[in-house]
Amino acid sequence: MVRSGVQPDDITFGAVLHACSSLAVLGHGKMVHGCILHYGFHAYVFIGNSLVNTYAKCGDLLQEGSEESRVVFETMGSVYGISPEMDHVACMVDMLGRGGYLAEAKELIDKYSGVGSAQMSLCEALFGAYFAQGNVGVGRNLGESLMILEPHKETSYVLLSNLYCASGQWKEAEMVRKMMVDQGVKKIPGCIWIEVRNKVTAFAAGKHSNPYTNEQCNIISLILK
């Protein structure tokens, strides 16, 4: 487009960022980010959301900027007249919680609390924050509540079990895993992907179909020695 003399607009950049996030190609995403700054589209809310989505899905989360995120969230309504949806609120809850602002995250849930899946998504985000902060006491209560409300969903079982393991409560963790089995709930295997030389390779827990598995194991063994 650029070589043909056609200037990209916000819709163009949004589409390209969506492709970058879907393929988890961080290098390309950063280049597109640079173009966005060059063309002056960085102030567009749609583009900002797409950039956050791209960096998050590429595993390059920002560790700072909580205050800036608060401002962006607040200006959605006060400046742009956009009512935040549950996904926006859940992102804020997760960010505040992981940043250590657990009380503020809880207040946000109380303010935007709804019913059904919307309420559950907010509670799950808060539970993830408690897990990140290692808050066993409150995290346990919230996790047990989620298990009762959604007994056939794996998220609460896995997070609660991991929370117990992280705090050395192995017996409690085993009890949660047993409850998960008794309910017939199965954990979806963890998966991660990485881009090397413009090619995306996926790795799933428990699978050894990757042709470079042996070389990877050998390198890890050398590193651990």
Q: Which of 13, 15, 21 is nearest to 57 (CA)?
A: 21
Give pLDDT, residue 32. Answer: 93
Question: How far apart are the C-alpha atoms of 186 and 152, rounded to whole Å?
Answer: 9
Q: Which residues lie below 8 Å from residue 134, measured CB to CB, with a gap of 6+?
A: 163, 166, 167
Once rounded to an integer, what is the mean pLDDT over residues 207-222?
75
Count of CA atoms in the C-beta half-sphere (13 A) of 141: 3
Question: CB–CB of 24/57 below 8 Å?
Answer: yes
Give pLDDT, residue 61. Answer: 62
Mean predicted lDDT score pLDDT of the chain? 81
User: Which ranges constitute the DSSP H helices of 134-211?
Assistant: 136-149, 154-166, 170-182
**In the predicted structure, residue 109 carries a pLDDT above the cut 70:** yes
Q: Report the relative pairing of strands 199-204 and 191-196 from DSSP bridges.
A: antiparallel
Once rounded to an integer, what is the mean pLDDT over residues 161-169?
84
Per cent of the chain over pLDDT 70 is 90
Task: Name the pLDDT band for 114 (thresholds 50, 70, 90).
Answer: low
Question: CB–CB of 92/122 below 8 Å?
Answer: no
Work out the widest C-alpha separation in the chain, in whole angstroms: 65
Q: Which residues lie below 8 Å from residue 99, measured CB to CB, with a gap of 6+?
A: 66
Question: CB–CB of 86/122 below 8 Å?
Answer: yes
Q: What is the pLDDT of residues 62-94, one digit of tens each?
A: 755 677 778 888 888 888 888 888 888 888 888
Q: What is the pLDDT of residues 14-39, one digit of tens each?
A: 999 999 888 878 888 899 999 999 99
pTM of the predicted structure, to 2 decimals: 0.54
